[in-house]
Amino acid sequence: MEIQIVGALQPETEAIIYLFRQSDDLGDRLNIFSNTVFLKEDFKAEAKQVVTIYENGRKVYLVGLGKTPKEADFIKTLRSFFYKQKRNLPNVIAIDLQTSGIENEWVEVAVNGCILGDYDLDLYKTKKKEGLTIFDKAAKLQIVVDSDAVESARQQAQRGEAIAQTQIRIMDLMNAPSNRKSPQSLAEWAVESGEKYGYSVTVWDEKQCEEEGLKALLAVSLGSKNPPRFILLEYKHPQATEKIGLVGKGVTFDTGGISLKQSTNMHYMKSDMGGAAAVLGTIEAAAKLQLPVHLIGAIPATENSIDGLATKPGDVVGSYSGKTIEIIDTDAEGRVILADALSYLVRTAKPDAMIDLATLTGSCIATLGYSAAGLFTNNEQLAKDLYDSGQQTGEKLWRLPLWDDYKEELTSDVADVKNFHGKPFAGAIVAAKFLEVFAEEHPRWAHLDIAGTAFADSEFGTMKSASAYGVRLLLRWLQGKGG
């Protein structure tokens, strides 16, 4: 499907989509259509509401955005519409933002939502759905904007499409089951992406991890036949003014180890590399868009499996930092592998700012549900900037404390620190305090607990699936740095 930016409706257009806010002037805007009286009764522009009519020999879709739509509302509405209608849409369809009264600034997110509607969860089904979709055909999607804004809108559209294509790749990666995804396959994904989009990728195998002293990562991997990988990525634009470190938890499957999880939702643990996915997607998109930033990524990748060699509760393991960790709960493995990555990045890359993302704790889900990720940082400006980016993109964050009141929960009798406090409260906070130890007093570090947001309900399937959470959030934050 080709996306075209035009300054007026074209004669060949077969169907038109109009987007409407649920506003006081909705009735006036509907006056352009025939049968206005009936339309005003039936169409209230509620979020995702769709009414179909025919005007001047064309099929017309009236799509509601709700009262005060933000970026996420545009994306979800158009994603849902195109996903549900993609087998029925004609070859030439237009989204008329001009007549709808939608400002040109929404072109990027509108295109992003449209492209995401192409997503398909049928990754491994042997029988595919019959018939071509609008995305498979030599079709055209025309975005109608003000005639004097065609060029700027074209740039926005290219950006929205580029980000969406990376999000789709990330969603495929996260939705892959563990027998189709391993630490090595994460590394191969990164290498392929780096070669295609022009950024460097270095992968350490098990031997190199041992030589470099990544003892915490190695300890978590002991129960798996698939050896760990430590993936380092670097994208540097010549106009970059500061270095940003990104760390992503890359557990390709998490059984809980000896502290075995309950079976009820264990199949979702293929998503426990959501932090790694966010880092991979952000760096790939930044490279594609040639953002003027310098990014250093570190992904500790492993499985957390169970066998006779697996690390046991009560074991004391080392770490890259030199600190020892008492393993109270082997299901608190994410923070253990992140410990090595954080210390490594601080000491070797010396980033100006550093953010880690991880599907870390059920406690964060209990606190914030599935609508927001937890934000932990002691840097006020970083907290504000990340929060604002989340509000703009809809990938929301809510700040939780990093007070030293919780520090004693990490006290171990036999090691420098323990990985779990064993109490049914403040789990997300204590996990963040653990990571803080290995962030080594970095003045601009933030931890994002994305356990409730990386895998979500959507129109794509009957169960939870990947959301690509974090990619648009981080890109917007980077945009504030000149990107």
How do residues 61-80 score in pLDDT, each as one tens digit? Answer: 999 999 999 999 999 999 99
Measured distance CA(99)–CA(143) in Å, rounded: 11
Of 335, 396, 444, 472, catalytic: 335
User: Is 254 annotated as ligand-binding?
Assistant: yes
Can 207 be counted among the known catalytic residues? Answer: no
* Contact indicator for 112, 161 with CB cutoff of 8 Å: yes
Look up the pTM and report it.
Answer: 0.97
- Give the model's pLDDT for residue 129: 82
How do residues 268-324 score in pLDDT, each as one tens digit?
Answer: 999 999 999 999 999 999 999 999 999 999 999 999 999 999 999 999 999 999 999
pLDDT tens, residue by residue, 39-49 = 999 999 999 99
* Annotated catalytic residue within 40, 48, 261, 481: 261
pLDDT at 483: 53
Structure tokens belonging to residue 330: 């082997």
Task: Measure the CA–CA gap between 222 and 333, rounded to whole angstroms.
Answer: 12
The mean pLDDT value for 322-339 works out to 98
pLDDT at position 229? 98
Query: Please, are residues 164 and 141 in contact by the beta-carbon 8 Å criterion?
Result: no
457-467: average pLDDT: 95
120 marked among binding-site residues: no
pLDDT of residue 35: 82
Maximal CA-CA distance, the chain: 79
Residue 60 and residue 90 in contact, taking contact as beta carbons nearer than 8 Å: no
Tokens found for residue 94: 């237009």
pLDDT at residue 96 is higher than 80? yes
Residue 130 has a pLDDT of: 80
- Give the pLDDT band of residue 54 (cuts 50, 70, 90): very high
> 39 or 115: which carries more pLDDT confidence?
115
Q: What is the pLDDT of residue 143?
A: 97
Q: Which fold has domain 2-164?
A: Leucine Aminopeptidase, subunit E; domain 1 (3.40.220)
* Domain residue ranges in the chain: 2-164, 177-479
pLDDT digits (tens, 9 = 90+) for 149-197: 999 999 999 999 999 999 999 999 999 999 999 999 999 999 999 999 9
Q: Which CATH superfamily is domain 177-479 in?
A: Zn peptidases (3.40.630.10)
Q: Is 207 a known ligand-binding residue?
A: no
Q: Looking at the predicted structure, is the pLDDT value of residue 482 above 80?
A: no
Q: Is 272 annotated as a binding residue?
A: yes
* pLDDT at residue 8, rounded to an integer: 95
For this structure, is 58 an active site residue? no
Distances (CA, A) of 294 to 185, 352, 353: 25, 10, 11
> Which amino acid does the sequence have at 283?
I
Backbone angles phi, psi at 464, to 5 degrees: -65, 150
Does residue 94 or residue 25 have the better pLDDT?
94
Confirm whether residue 340 is marked as ligand binding. Answer: no
| Among candidate residues 132, 63, 129, 136, the one with its CA nearest the CA of residue 100 | 63
Q: What angle do CA 73, 75, 77 make, to 5 degrees?
A: 65
